[in-house]
Structure 1
Amino acid sequence: MTKETTTTTTKTVCVFCGSSFGTKKSYSDSATKLGQLLAERGYGLVYGGGTTGLMGLIAKSVFSNGGSVHGVIPDALVSKERADPDKIEAINKELLNNVDNHVGATPIDETKYGKTTIVPDMHSRKKMMALEANSGFVAMPGGFGTLEEIMEITTWSQLGIHKRPIVLFNVDGFYDCFIEFLNKAIENGFISKTNGNIVSIATTPEEVIEKLESYVVPQGRFNLTWQNELKD
């Protein structure tokens, strides 16, 4: 465990996802498979630092397959999103359908989940993850936090703060209604057609990798100068 920021030198992807497992086994299976593929393709992972839910699954998968993992978590959330390793199996088996299945103790097991940086607040967490994600961002199923994180990073792209790939991993149609909303916003003139291409859609772990590696920065984004934000 460290409280210092280190410089990222490898390809690194930031994955936003739930600290719960959700109600479908496909969510867990997809997180595990995506973690495996990221590691096999030489990507490191930066994520929200939890050991529970989809967060814990993808971190453990990347790390166990030889990839680097950096979890970034606010001090206030350590007791909420870090579960005792001895409880993880019980959580997986018995609390799969419970949205409160991320209640746990506070140990941080770096032998299973990689390096952890504890930060003072949510803003520090998101900025550190964004700075390290030199190869893109992926949103898996999640709740309020996941949606807020992927939309902020999408807005940053629209504003010209960065030009990195952004992929919405639509596992089992989880994001269908949200994609419909985005199309409605384009249709009604609130998002331009070109900026609608800032977010790529993938339905399988393999397609997530393909979308990351074939991403083309859309035309029509704002060409603004940002002094204290991400540098691309």
Structure 2
Amino acid sequence: MRVTIFCGSSSGNENFVNVARNFGEYLGLTGHTVIYGGGSVGLMGAVAEGVMSKNGEIIGIIPERLYDREAGNENITNLITVKTMHQRKALLSEMCEAFVILPGGLGTLEELFEVWTHAQLGYHQKPIAFLNIDGYYDGLFDFVKFVSKSGFIDKKFVDMVIVKKNYEKLMECLKNYKAPESKY
């Protein structure tokens, strides 16, 4: 499976880094292709390091402007440089069969909400899964459920995402995913 991973260019805490690296190793060992933001720092770098340590395939996509800031990773299978963030996000979305979200900041949140919205609207039927390390996204899910109860998100679109603490279970759920009927 070709999996796009959204995660931070910062590290957060040491457990986030360890889980990200271990997840990368698992993906590399099990023959999945990883597509990610192309950086060699933070959780992005940890995932890439894990994949490459097991001779897995990993494709990075990085805008020219962020190449130096996120330390564009030349030690991966393929690094694609693009002009804009819009081009990066389009390729991250087009090239994959599923999305997995690890802890991250504003960029990660922006990416995950875009693919979640696109799934709701029927632009894709790809599974979206959160590797919810140490309950990182618990507060976000509480808010999304509140928004749903307030009448702004149909419950089926809240429930459409996969949330797991274990990456092996998460990957199994991706294989068995059935998309809900889109909003339109």
Give the TM-score category using the shorter length.
over 0.9
Determine if the alignment matches structure 1 residue 190 to structure 2 residue 152: yes
Structure 2 counterpart of 1:121, from 71, 76, 84: 84
| Separation in 2, partners of 1:212, 1:62 | 19
Normalised TM-score (structure 1): 0.76
Q: Sequence identity, in percent?
A: 36
Q: Could you tell me which residue of structure 1 aligns to residue 60 of structure 2?
A: 71
Tell me the amino acid that sits aligned with residue 160 of structure 1: G
Tell me the amino acid that sits aligned with residue 128 of structure 1: L
Q: Could you tell me which residue of structure 2 aligns to residue 226 of structure 1?
A: none
Does the residue aligned with 1:215 lie in a helix, a strand or coil?
Answer: coil
| Separation in 2, partners of 1:35, 1:58 | 5
| Separation in 1, partners of 2:24, 2:170 | 11
**Structure 1 runs (4+) greater than 6 angstroms displaced:** none
Tell me the amino acid that sits aligned with residue 205 of structure 1: Y
- Per-residue CA deviation, residues 127-173 of structure 1 (Å, 9 max, x unaligned), is 01111112x00110000000000110000101101001100111001
| Separation in 2, partners of 1:171, 1:195 | 22
Determine if the alignment matches structure 1 residue 165 to structure 2 residue 100: no
| Separation in 2, partners of 1:27, 1:43 | 21
Tell me the amino acid that sits aligned with residue 109 of structure 1: E
Structure 1 unaligned regions, length at least 5: 1-10, 83-105, 224-232
| Separation in 1, partners of 2:43, 2:67 | 16
| Separation in 2, partners of 1:169, 1:211 | 12
| Separation in 1, partners of 2:6, 2:51 | 14
How many pairs align?
184
| Separation in 1, partners of 2:21, 2:64 | 26
| Separation in 1, partners of 2:143, 2:22 | 28
Q: Could you tell me which residue of structure 1 aligns to residue 110 of structure 2?
A: 148
- Per-residue CA deviation, residues 7-64 of structure 1 (Å, 9 max, x unaligned), is xxxx210000001110x22101110111122122221011000000000110121122
Q: Could you tell me which residue of structure 2 aligns to residue 222 of structure 1?
A: 183
Tell me the amino acid that sits aligned with residue 81 of structure 2: I
Q: Could you tell me which residue of structure 2 aligns to residue 130 of structure 1?
A: 93
| Separation in 2, partners of 1:179, 1:173 | 10
Determine if the alignment matches structure 1 residue 45 to structure 2 residue 10: no
Tell me the amino acid that sits aligned with residue 109 of structure 2: L
| Separation in 2, partners of 1:173, 1:74 | 30
Q: Could you tell me which residue of structure 2 aligns to residue 8 of structure 1?
A: none
Tell me the amino acid that sits aligned with residue 144 of structure 1: L
Q: Could you tell me which residue of structure 2 aligns to residue 35 of structure 1?
A: 24
Determine if the alignment matches structure 1 residue 209 to structure 2 residue 174: no
| Separation in 2, partners of 1:128, 1:205 | 24
Q: Could you tell me which residue of structure 1 aligns to residue 9 of structure 2?
A: 19
| Separation in 1, partners of 2:180, 2:143 | 20
Larger strand share, 1 or 2: 2
